[in-house]
Amino acid sequence: MRRLLQSLLALPLLAAAALCAQAQVPPLEVAHPAKVLSLIDKLPARPERASVEGKPLTAYLLVYFKDETHDIYFATSGDGYTFTDVNGGQPVFLGRVLAEQKGVRDPHLMRGPDGAFYMAMTDLHIFAKPAGLRETEWERPGEDYGWGNNRNLIFMKSWDLLHWTHHRVPVAQLFPQGGDLGVVWAPETIWDAKAGKPMVYYTTRVKKGADHLVYAYADADFTTLTTPPEPLFTYPVKGKSAIDGDITRIGDRFHMFYVAHDTPGHLRQAVSDRINGGYVFNPQKIDPETVGTEAPNLWRRHGSDTWVLMYDVFGAKPRNNMGFSETTDFVNFKNLGRFNEPGSPMKATNFVGAKHGAVIAIAPEEAQRLQTYFAP
């Protein structure tokens, strides 16, 4: 999340900033897509087709955002290598509609055992001042609350990927006992089978303190948090932070990939035998990158024991790109390179600049549903 130097936001809009002074952000844009997905007040009763039982989940759905718009995008793939944006590179949701700050970041998707899709994201626009969306650099004074300060998460839920509920979740207001929060970033959702409900975990800090990971539980309708945030993982090295956690159950263990806030930022892995704590620190650097990297997301290739670790290489030049590594044992990781780079099998056919995304398995008919919806 801490991708840009504070001083860069003072540059003119068309100059845009550099990610950690390394990769140029394109000029900011205001997207006007011909069509977006639908926001609804309440989900209907669970439809029969929401069940995933017996469905071959052989397609893939990538959700991502872009720095230049702070909007939400979807891309699908039939093989897990070549991804095509369903709206021709245009947003499927507008950040200015979803967020109090008129921009969103860090979207994540999960499919629950009920067959529903749960999407969470950060209510934050880091370029709101140069974009003319607010008069101040940050929502609250940077000298008190730090870079990229914000107060809300955003929760969305859908049965069919086309119609979504939408709720802003004011975490600090809900749980004032947690202190004067500086940020609530990069929420992800995982189903806690033991608790029987969705667990949301995210990066936070009190004012300008150290970033760390916490978790809380959401209600069944995915409209709010119902339990106070509890500690999930704190980086054990004094003066360093942990952000952007991503948890996946592999067998009987939970693997959490996260960003260690060293220089440059890089990815590490912590493993636990329970979902909401006990993650053991491992100093091994996971990603192959030599420049700043964040936003790890793990997903499995259909019909195999191969897992793909995707990450946002925000330090790449001339601009950020998604990087990928594969593993079967979670010890050795094979570098697949980045989208559309020479020698990489990973392709983005009609989009560039994807940031901080997530991939889930979906049925081919669900991918086709999205493609048909946005067809010219």
Rounded to 5 degrees, what are φ and ψ at 368? -65, -35
Tokens 């991708």 label which residue? Answer: 3
How many CA atoms, within 13 angstroms, populate the side-chain half-sphere of residue 48? Answer: 0
Proportion of the chain above pLDDT 70, given as a percent = 92
Per-residue pLDDT at 2: 46
Flag whether pLDDT at 224 surpasses 90.
Answer: yes
Proportion of the chain above pLDDT 90, given as a percent = 85
Q: Is residue 330 part of a domain?
A: yes
Give the tens place of pLDDT for each residue, 295-347: 999 999 999 999 999 999 999 999 999 999 999 999 999 999 999 999 999 99
pLDDT, mean of residues 31-51: 89
Q: Is residue 60 part of a domain?
A: yes
Mean of the per-residue pLDDT values of the chain: 92
**Sheet with 38-39, side-by-side order of all strands:** 38-39, 163-170, 152-158, 117-123, 104-111
The single-letter code of the amino acid at 97 is: V
The boundaries of the domain holding residue 46 are 6-237+280-373
| Residues 221, 272 contacting (CB under 8 angstroms) | no
**Exposure b/e, 319-333, CB count within 10 A at least 16 = b:** bbbbbbbbbeebeeb
Q: Is residue 250 part of a domain?
A: no
Q: Is residue 270 part of a domain?
A: no
Q: Is residue 295 part of a domain?
A: yes
Q: What is the 3-state secondary structure (H, E, C) of the chain?
A: CCCECHHHHHCCHHHCCEECCCEECCCCCCCCCCCCCEECCCCCCCCHHHCCCCCCCCEEEEEEECCCCCCEEEEEECCCCEEEECCCCCCCECHHHHCCCCCEEEEEEEECCCCCEEEEEEECCCCCCCCCCCCCCCCCCHHHHCCCCCCEEEEEEECCCCEEEEEEEEHHHHCHHHCCEEEEEEEEEEEECCCCEEEEEEEEEECCCCCEEEEEEECCCCCCECCCCEEEECCCCCCCCEEEEEEEEECCEEEEEEEECCCCCEEEEEEECECCECCECCCCCCCCCCCCCEEEEEEECCCCCCEEEEEEECCCCCCCEEEEEEECCCCCCEEEEECCCCCCCCEECCCCCCEEEEEEEECHHHHHHHHHHCCC
319: tokens are: 């601009």
Per-residue pLDDT at 248: 99
Q: Is residue 254 part of a domain?
A: no
Which of 105, 98, 142, 208 minimizes the C-alpha distance to 9? Answer: 142
| Residues 17, 11 contacting (CB under 8 angstroms) | yes
Instruction: Tally Cβ neighbours within 10 Å of residue 113.
Output: 12
β-partners of residue 191 are 198
160: tokens are: 């069919």
Where residue 183 falls among pLDDT bands split at 50, 70, 90?
very high
Q: Is residue 220 part of a domain?
A: yes
| Residues 246, 186 contacting (CB under 8 angstroms) | no
Flag whether pLDDT at 228 surpasses 80.
Answer: yes
Where residue 201 falls among pLDDT bands split at 50, 70, 90?
very high
Q: Is residue 24 part of a domain?
A: yes
Higher pLDDT, 45 or 7: 45
Per-residue pLDDT at 291: 93
Give the tens place of pLDDT for each residue, 119-157: 999 999 999 999 999 999 999 999 999 999 999 999 999
- What domain count does the chain have? 1
β-partners of residue 165 are 157
pLDDT, mean of residues 173-184: 93
Give the tens place of pLDDT for each residue, 75-119: 999 999 999 999 999 999 999 999 999 999 999 999 999 999 999
Tokens 């300060």 label which residue? Answer: 149
pLDDT, mean of residues 32-43: 96
